[in-house]
A = this chain, B = another copy of it.
Amino acid sequence: MTDLGDMPGGKTMKPRPRAAGQRDPARTRTAILDAATLEFTAKGLTGARVDTIASRSGVNKRMIYHYFGDKEGLYLAVLEETYSAIRMAEVELHLADREPMDGIRTLIEFTWNYFIAHPEFLSLLANENMHRAKYLRQSERVRALHSPFIDTITQLLRRGEKAGLFRRGIDAVQLYISIAALGFFYMANQHTLSTIFGRDLVTPDQLAGRGAHIVEVVLAYLAPPASNRKPPAVRRSPRGKSPS
């Protein structure tokens, strides 16, 4: 799957498009998955209707059960596909080959832009958390994707530290969560935020402004403390124990 977004935004055509309704397992599977992503994104697991997915994908309802077992199996497949897409796109950034500052900035901007382009990822993630990750937890495929990703960020941070560009001791998970958080919250909750603040938050200008803001926030945090551009004696532990 070369894809990354062969779904919401640009269906890639099969090279030899056969007559519709004919036997073409791969095509049938993909059609179901595409329709399902749309439906689960819009309605959540509970709200999604198997009938709707069947009719939108143009395949017989029975095929869904044939390929994915049941509704939950289909949901899990959508989840894996969606997570897989973002992680694979991140691999394409070749962060390991970049200068620390460039690497981080690239990651921040990519993440923000990906969230703008892929609302289905945000929706699915929010929905899966309502189910306390019950389904994601079953997926070994997804778990395997993240370890190398975090390793890459960690290396970037360590290199930046040594170069005196970043403050010491930054945790890659903590940092990535913050990068994602600043974009996710804004996009995923755009409807309630626009409502309570009485401002349309997703105009091109607003989006550009938010992107710049996110970069500023993260870079300000990464910069070594002002007092001494050399590493500060004070180190804080992002997780437990505490220094004392």
Contact = CB atoms under 8 A, between A and B. Distances in A.
Contacts of A206: 239-240
B181 A185 contact: yes
A205 B143 contact: no
A242 B237 CA distance: 9
Among A42, A198, A243, find the residue whose CB has the most chain B CB atoms closer than 10 A: A243
Interface in A138-172: 142-143, 145-147, 150
Contact of A191 (B132, B209, B227, B243): B132
Interface size class of A (residues with CB under 8 A): 35 or more
Interface stretch (A21-29, A100-108, A122-130): A122-130
Contact of A174 (B46, B178, B181, B210): B210
Nearest to A228: B231
What is the oligomeric copy number? 4
A39 B26 CA distance: 33
Contact of A243 (B125, B198, B237): B237
B192 A133 contact: yes
A12 interface: no
Nearest to A48: B46
Contacts of A47: 44, 46-47, 130
A226 interface: yes
A177 B201 CA distance: 11
A132 B42 CA distance: 9
A185 to B, nearest CB: 3
- Which 5 residue pairs across A and B have the least CB separation, nearest first? A205-B240, A181-B185, A133-B191, A46-B47, A209-B239
